[in-house]
A and B are shown apart, each in its own frame.
Chain A
């Protein structure tokens, strides 16, 4: 019945929609992300090295007069095609931009070969049907050492990385291809002006050898990496990176981290912290409030004085101090937030208990010989419960905001990405100075939206569960 009434008010409906949506996202994240995502990926800069640094999201293209190229990272662990002694890895990149990508990087790891050095080559088929062989063979594979017996394993610790703009072979091939397009370029000109990507992705508009002579040729580019050698030869991982200027749904930060992932991981974390803190603080506050109100006398006086003291302290400085002293872990943050969060609830619950306590059914129960414990559990608790539930809802956004504040001061749990920490890193690493709006606005708006969702639900819930308001 309450749920129906709740959904009838527009504020309640809006709040419920936000919260249900956020809970579904949290569930999705819990299912798809590993629990150690923070330490394994998010705080591991090496994992993000091939991602673009500080670029806006893909949809930024809808708001600018010229389209920026998308960043492309793709990994293949198995060959796309395999024929006798040839293994072929195929990557497709769609260029739909008015600017050129800034570079192409080809990487592979865990090369295993048995006999001769395998011949690894890379070529690209352009949308106009032309084909450029960028690398004929990779001369950077260390040959077998004397005394080493097959299988030979190479590039285990760090991958073989070929940056096309600095690879002599690719520069020679690009210069030759530029000639074919009608732009006369020498290899040194291509190297110095950094023309490799312009030649690969461009069509000529004049015959002078300069970046301005090319405009992007839009369409599908198919990159093919080939390994020719013994049929048993293997590559663990092949990666192609086309360096663009926009990436993903939410852009990237200064380390190249995909902000969409960090923000997604923040959903369950925020709801968990808010939910656990509010639940525990309300339970403690409710228990103390009932005891204080029902038993009265010295106990009441002691509990109320103590709650008064806790309620009158400026919380944030004490939160900062305690988290700083105890250490920045999720457990400590929750503990400290509960420690400073129960007092207000105790005071409210006590006043409700006082009014219930004087009612006739309590008196009847006492005359019938019921114990205090029984009366508190069976007669005092039930009328207090609905409002306490509303208090849980009200305390969730407070806890989420407090956690965000602590995180923003650098006191968040470093092993778990939260929205507050994303904001703190943005602020500390020049997001404002670089006008990286995609790095500042979304995490903050998510914090605000979560808080608004809970506050709206509380506003809609309060008149339904507060006996004083209901009578009016």
Chain B
């Protein structure tokens, strides 16, 4: 048990180091590019403006107002640290990112019209999670199932097909597959024959159905093309890596020994090959879930899926720097947190690590 705790603590420490590294990196970039200055200045101008309006409304005489405003400007500037160079403000910047005080976007708004970046992200993150988890899970389950099957039929025709498909997974970008599917399955039937088989993008129809069941089915309908795209692209990779794991296990001595003992082939397969293959397969699954959050950035744009990836693109086109920084940080944060949770799961599943 002590070694288990030690392993987990080591993992946690190294992930925290990664996180701090990213934070420092982001803060330095924000400072060195003058972005942090710009953001503070706009904040200061807004505050001072508000203060001035308040004084004017109180009916003070203009000269006194001007003086008071200048005084206020100076004290606020000092409080915000705008008079100091950016590297002195670095700890403050890092702290702000760490507590998710992400500030306001310049132009982008959440669906309920808020300019706060944390609202923007809260608005989009669930949609991204819907897309990525379903995409990965569906593909992985089918891929693993096929991989388990061909792992014990090495050299068959199915095996060769899967080997080729796995090369395709590496070379075919998911977002391009998405483009092709939208072109061929959504627009081609609509333009050539006038029927809409698949939606060309989005997450729900406009206007969205009010009935919850209809709403759910509508989201499923919109999910179908992204799911198909990730299936085509990632299926081969899943099947191939699963096949390799199963194949390696079946070469082990204990498997030959089980066969030599005269155990029925069925029992050998279930107990001696599949059981030890599961932990590494699970790791694959877990790691790709953690990585998938950022893996769909461009695909979301292609499918016009209202998630974090689309937000990224809108932030780039609108030159909304605060949003870009916040998103980069959140992507890293989600990735690292997911990694850690999944490491714990992994340790719990694999006795060889737990007891080592």
Q: For A316, list chain B residues within 8 Å (CB).
A: 294-295, 297-298
Cβ of A235 < 8 Å from any Cβ of B?
no
Cβ of A27 < 8 Å from any Cβ of B?
no
Whether B294 pairs with A409 at a CB distance below 8 angstroms is no
Which segment, of A1-9, A220-228, A439-447, faces chain B?
A439-447
Cβ of A321 < 8 Å from any Cβ of B?
yes
Number of A-B contacts (CB under 8 A): 119
- Given contact pairs A409-B313, A410-B313, A435-B183, A309 touches B21 in the complex (Cβ within 8 A): yes
Cβ of B331 < 8 Å from any Cβ of A?
yes
Residue of A nearest to B317 (CB): A410
Interface size class of A (residues with CB under 8 A): 35 or more
Residue of A nearest to B325 (CB): A321
What's the minimum C-beta distance from B327 to chain A, rounded to whole angstroms? 7
User: What are 17 A-B pairs at a CB distance below 8 A?
Assistant: A314-B335, A316-B295, A316-B297, A317-B297, A318-B328, A320-B316, A321-B328, A405-B175, A408-B298, A409-B316, A432-B183, A432-B186, A435-B183, A440-B180, A441-B180, A441-B183, A444-B179
Cβ of A397 < 8 Å from any Cβ of B?
yes
Whether B170 pairs with A397 at a CB distance below 8 angstroms is yes
Q: For B301, list chain A residues within 8 Å (CB).
A: 408-409
What's the minimum C-beta distance from B32 to chain A, rounded to whole angstroms? 9
Which segment, of A54-62, A82-90, A449-457, faces chain B?
A449-457
Whether B187 pairs with A432 at a CB distance below 8 angstroms is yes
- Chain A residues numbered 413-469 whose CB sits less than 8 Å from any CB in chain B: 423, 427, 432-433, 435, 437, 440-441, 444, 447-448, 451-452, 455-456, 459
Docked Cα-Cα span, A423 to B173, in Å, equals: 13
Whether A405 pairs with B298 at a CB distance below 8 angstroms is yes
Cβ of A404 < 8 Å from any Cβ of B?
yes
Residue of A nearest to B290 (CB): A314
Whether B188 pairs with A314 at a CB distance below 8 angstroms is no
Whether A447 pairs with B176 at a CB distance below 8 angstroms is yes
Cβ of A75 < 8 Å from any Cβ of B?
no
Docked Cα-Cα span, A397 to B172, in Å, equals: 10
Cβ of B146 < 8 Å from any Cβ of A?
no
Q: For A448, list chain B residues within 8 Å (CB).
A: 171-173, 176
Partner of A309 from B18, B26, B167, B298 at Cβ < 8 Å:
B18
Cβ of B244 < 8 Å from any Cβ of A?
no
Docked Cα-Cα span, A85 to B18, in Å, equals: 81
Whether A432 pairs with B179 at a CB distance below 8 angstroms is yes
What's the minimum C-beta distance from B337 to chain A, rounded to whole angstroms? 12
Residue of B nearest to A456 (CB): B167
Whether A455 pairs with B327 at a CB distance below 8 angstroms is no
Residue of B nearest to A437 (CB): B183
Whether B171 pairs with A444 at a CB distance below 8 angstroms is no
Cβ of B332 < 8 Å from any Cβ of A?
yes
- Chain A residues numbered 377-411 whose CB sits less than 8 Å from any CB in chain B: 397, 401, 404-405, 408-411
Partner of A427 from B170, B179, B325 at Cβ < 8 Å:
B179
Whether A305 pairs with B17 at a CB distance below 8 angstroms is yes
Docked Cα-Cα span, A397 to B168, in Å, equals: 12
Whether A440 pairs with B179 at a CB distance below 8 angstroms is yes
Q: For A11, list chain B residues within 8 Å (CB).
A: 167
Interface size class of B (residues with CB under 8 A): 35 or more
Whether A423 pairs with B328 at a CB distance below 8 angstroms is no
Cβ of B161 < 8 Å from any Cβ of A?
no
B170, B186, B301, B317 interface centre (most CB from chain A within 10 Å): B170
Whether A321 pairs with B324 at a CB distance below 8 angstroms is yes
Whether B312 pairs with A317 at a CB distance below 8 angstroms is yes
Residue of A nearest to B32 (CB): A325
What's the minimum C-beta distance from A241 to chain B, rounded to whole angstroms? 28
List 16 additional A-B contacts (Cβ < 8 Å) besides A322-B29, A408-B175.
A314-B332, A315-B294, A316-B297, A316-B298, A317-B297, A320-B328, A405-B173, A408-B301, A409-B297, A410-B313, A432-B179, A435-B187, A444-B179, A444-B180, A448-B172, A451-B171
- Given contact pairs A324-B316, A435-B188, A440-B180, A409 touches B173 in the complex (Cβ within 8 A): no
Interface string of B318-333 (1 = CB under 8 A from A): 0001001101100110
- Given contact pairs A309-B21, A448-B171, A314 touches B187 in the complex (Cβ within 8 A): no
Partner of A409 from B176, B298, B321 at Cβ < 8 Å:
B298
Q: For A410, list chain B residues within 8 Å (CB).
A: 313, 316-317
- Given contact pairs A432-B200, A456-B167, A324 touches B324 in the complex (Cβ within 8 A): yes
Whether B187 pairs with A433 at a CB distance below 8 angstroms is yes
Cβ of A368 < 8 Å from any Cβ of B?
no
Q: For A31, list chain B residues within 8 Å (CB).
A: none
- Given contact pairs A409-B316, A411-B316, A451-B170, A314 touches B291 in the complex (Cβ within 8 A): yes
What's the minimum C-beta distance from A342 to chain B, rounded to whole angstroms? 16
Docked Cα-Cα span, A101 to B35, in Å, equals: 55
Whether B18 pairs with A313 at a CB distance below 8 angstroms is yes
Interface string of B275-294 (1 = CB under 8 A from A): 00000000000000001011
What's the minimum C-beta distance from A472 to chain B, rounded to whole angstroms? 11
Q: For B173, list chain A residues within 8 Å (CB).
A: 401, 404-405, 444, 447-448
What's the minimum C-beta distance from B82 to chain A, rounded to whole angstroms? 21
Cβ of B339 < 8 Å from any Cβ of A?
yes
Whether A325 pairs with B29 at a CB distance below 8 angstroms is yes
Residue of B nearest to A452 (CB): B171
Q: For A324, list chain B residues within 8 Å (CB).
A: 316, 321, 324
Residue of A nearest to B168 (CB): A452
Q: For A309, list chain B residues within 8 Å (CB).
A: 14, 17-18, 21
Residue of B nearest to A398 (CB): B170
Whether A423 pairs with B176 at a CB distance below 8 angstroms is yes
Cβ of A128 < 8 Å from any Cβ of B?
no
Cβ of A308 < 8 Å from any Cβ of B?
yes
Partner of A320 from B35, B200, B312 at Cβ < 8 Å:
B312
